[in-house]
Structure 1
Amino acid sequence: MRKKLVFFDLISTGHHLEYLYHISENYSLFKHADITFAVNHDFVSIYEDKFGRSVNKGIKINTLTEEESQIFSSKSGFKNYYFQYKKLRSILKLGEYDSCFIMDIYPISFFLSFSRLPCSLAGIYFIPIFKNTKDFSSKLKRSVLKCVIAKNKWNNIFVLNNPTTASILNKEYGVSIFKSLSDPILDLKKLKTIKEDSEVFKINFKNKISFLHFGSLADRKGTLEIIKSLNYLSPEILSNIHIILAGKASRDFENQIKTLIEEFNISNYISFYSGFLSYTEIDYLLTKCSYVLLPYKFSEMSSGIIGHSVNYNTPIISCDNGAIGDILVNYKVGIPIKPTAKDIAKVIRFLKTSDFIIDVELAKKYLQLNSDEEFVNTIIKSVCQ
């Protein structure tokens, strides 16, 4: 008997879009399931523009109307989450689905804590909140999640690329629904290359050791620590390195970055590009840079950037604990450090005179374990077997 699955996600950027891409590209693996994407009004056009191809014709697409999309984008916070919850309920009532995959369960988790949806659920893009996180917001999220688990029927809640964390969460909540899911690597080299006019392509990488920090830029990503690290380097070291900060930042954080660069008088050593990067730009940066620098302060989750970097055989400098630390050590794809300005400066000094080379064979193993096929097969097993 064929299963009816719906993937619900009204966000059309970043990992949200990429995960639906992997499902579409591996649609042939869903031999016993019919799939619907419940997505935003502009999903199809963004998808085609981003990837240079169409969603698999076998997948049904259920989009918001243009009016609904405008209402959704006009709301923020709790009102936005309530809109998503109401839309999800209406979709599930009409579709008679066997299972619903909610790409990000936190926005509507409050409502799911006292409401039972009419099919089994799974969460994909899940960022865990641990007991040792003491702030009120985190405590509230843990309590709400406990109610959500009790109220609804869950096939799985997937934690990206981290079986250890999945085991800890199962023990904490007294369940067996948390599972590790491969963090699928998007092979940028296979995507359609689009010629663009971008300042990114004007970076001069010659004769300098370059450190690329890209993705969403934020304090928790260690962006400011990178800038501060240059204060600990001699003029000789600085003259031989180039830091590239590239990615989307909030207006306030963008101003913080610019202020700090100006205050430290280090604009000659840093290139800063604010905004979403196209895959063509990411491909260019990863092809040219020496190292990828990710001094994340929160290290329990994997990062899609790690997969991109490994796919280009570009060594990674990142945190020495959590899931990311384990990846760097176990697969020998980078250098683990403390995510502080002093430690960033220390590793830059080290790399001035020494090279780090990825273990190619272990890197291949990592790529295989986190392939798009592994990602899709795990999802299939959770509902179809």
Structure 2
Amino acid sequence: MIRINFFIRIRTFGTRNLFEKIKFKEWKLIKHHALVLGVDEVFIMELTKYEIQIGFNKTPFKISGIEFRPSHRIKIENAGFTKKISATIQHYKRVFFENIILRSPSIHEIFILNDPKGSEILNKYYSTNIFRCTVDPVYDYEKPDASSMPYWIKRNNRKVVYTIFGALDWRKNIKNIFEAFTLLDKQIHQHIELLIIGKIPEYFADEFELRVNMFIRDNPDIELVLINEFVSDSHMEYYFCNTDVSLVVYPKFYGSSGLLGRAAKYNSISLVPNVGLMAELCEDYKLGYLCDPYSPTDISLKIFKAFNDILNGERIDGTSFYREHSPELFLNQLNF
């Protein structure tokens, strides 16, 4: 008989010193609960956070989980010297930590998302069979009544809705995206709505406010809507079903993103980085356009292409991606 226990972190852990930043407190708590429950295996949804602790520990239970930043995807072929050096450093940093976690005899399976070729590459590189592939599932959530929403998107044929979703820090590429909108022909600004949804971390608040004020000054005719809060899954569903173009043009990002599937579910165009797994998925499933995340000019060009597509009634067809990334398949591949 298989019994599954779910442990959801509700404690707040500080990040004031190195000891806390590398999650020793969290790992100690995970290990404590696993021992108390007498489990045979612990599955960690974000394995990357605990590579050091796992690598230097032997546990009486097996450990499996999901690796969100595998090393094999971190590479840039067509870029300047500085970007190549940065990617190379990131690559070998990830190799270092992968070697650490693979030291542990407790490691059972490491899953990577949406990348079957990647699991083969990693198994060959490390002479192991631990790496597996699973889909990044697209969940279905019930949409709330529009009247209950803090902001109700007024859909009409004059506005193309662009959405930036998630924790609003430097990884969202706010600076370059804002500059990209500023480069657009001013005559189309009145037909654009930019929806930014997510909690702004305290350390980024001042810079974000500065960027927003500059954006409003330079683009007064673009309707900018900022929702500075963590939104529920049902609210996320509402905003994405009313999104025309999803902006996931992340710098220094080489993996997949759940937002790609979220946009595909509603046939919304995605703008993604031109490197890494997300670029391959976007091309293979025809989900949108690839952008150089460091080039406001290139991002602006793709924003304009998506704008014309929407005005001409040309949306992407995300049906195949949505169906092939179901929660049921995700659980089956994890052997749950």
TM-score normalized by the length of structure 1: 0.73
Change (3 A) 1:202 1:185: closer
1:236 and 1:104 map into 2 onto residues whose CA distance is 45
| Equivalence for 2:194 | 243
4+ residue stretches of structure 1 with deviation over 6 A? none
Mapping for residues 1-385 of structure 1, pairs under 5 Å: 2=1, 33-40=2-9, 42=10, 69=11, 72-74=12-14, 76=16, 78-79=19-20, 81-130=23-72, 133-135=87-89, 139=92, 142-188=95-141, 191=142, 193=144, 197-201=148-152, 207-264=158-215, 265=217, 266-269=219-222, 270-339=224-293, 340-354=295-309, 355=312, 357-358=314-315, 360=317, 363-380=318-335
1:153 and 1:356 map into 2 onto residues whose CA distance is 53
Counterpart of 2:59, as a letter, is: L
2:147 and 2:233 map into 1 onto residues whose CA distance is 11
2:59 and 2:313 map into 1 onto residues whose CA distance is 51
1:321 to partner: Cα distance: 2.7
2:146 and 2:302 map into 1 onto residues whose CA distance is 35
Counterpart of 1:153, as a letter, is: S
Secondary structure of the structure 2 residue equivalent to 1:123: strand
1:185 to partner: Cα distance: 0.6
2:305 and 2:324 map into 1 onto residues whose CA distance is 31
In structure 2, list runs of 5 or more residues that go unmatched: 76-86
Change (3 A) 1:209 1:38: closer
1:337-358 superposed Cα distances (whole Å, 9 cap, x missing partner):
2223111211233344444734
1:279-309 superposed Cα distances (whole Å, 9 cap, x missing partner):
3332332222221121122442111111111
| Equivalence for 2:82 | none
2:316 and 2:308 map into 1 onto residues whose CA distance is 20
1:333 and 1:165 map into 2 onto residues whose CA distance is 21
Change (3 A) 1:75 1:230: closer
Given that residues 273 and 291 in structure 2 are in contact (C-alpha distance below 8 angstroms), is that contact kept between their aligned partners in structure 1? yes
Given that residues 69 and 94 in structure 2 are in contact (C-alpha distance below 8 angstroms), is that contact kept between their aligned partners in structure 1? no
Equivalent pairs: percent with the same residue? 21
1:122 to partner: Cα distance: 0.6
1:201 to partner: Cα distance: 1.6
TM-score normalized by the length of structure 2: 0.83
Given that residues 153 and 242 in structure 2 are in contact (C-alpha distance below 8 angstroms), is that contact kept between their aligned partners in structure 1? no
In structure 1, list runs of 5 or more residues that go unmatched: 3-32, 43-68
Counterpart of 2:129, as a letter, is: S
Secondary structure of the structure 2 residue equivalent to 1:297: coil
CA-atom RMSD, angstroms? 2.7
1:293 and 1:141 map into 2 onto residues whose CA distance is 26
Given that residues 299 and 325 in structure 1 are in contact (C-alpha distance below 8 angstroms), is that contact kept between their aligned partners in structure 2? no
Secondary structure of the structure 2 residue equivalent to 1:36: coil
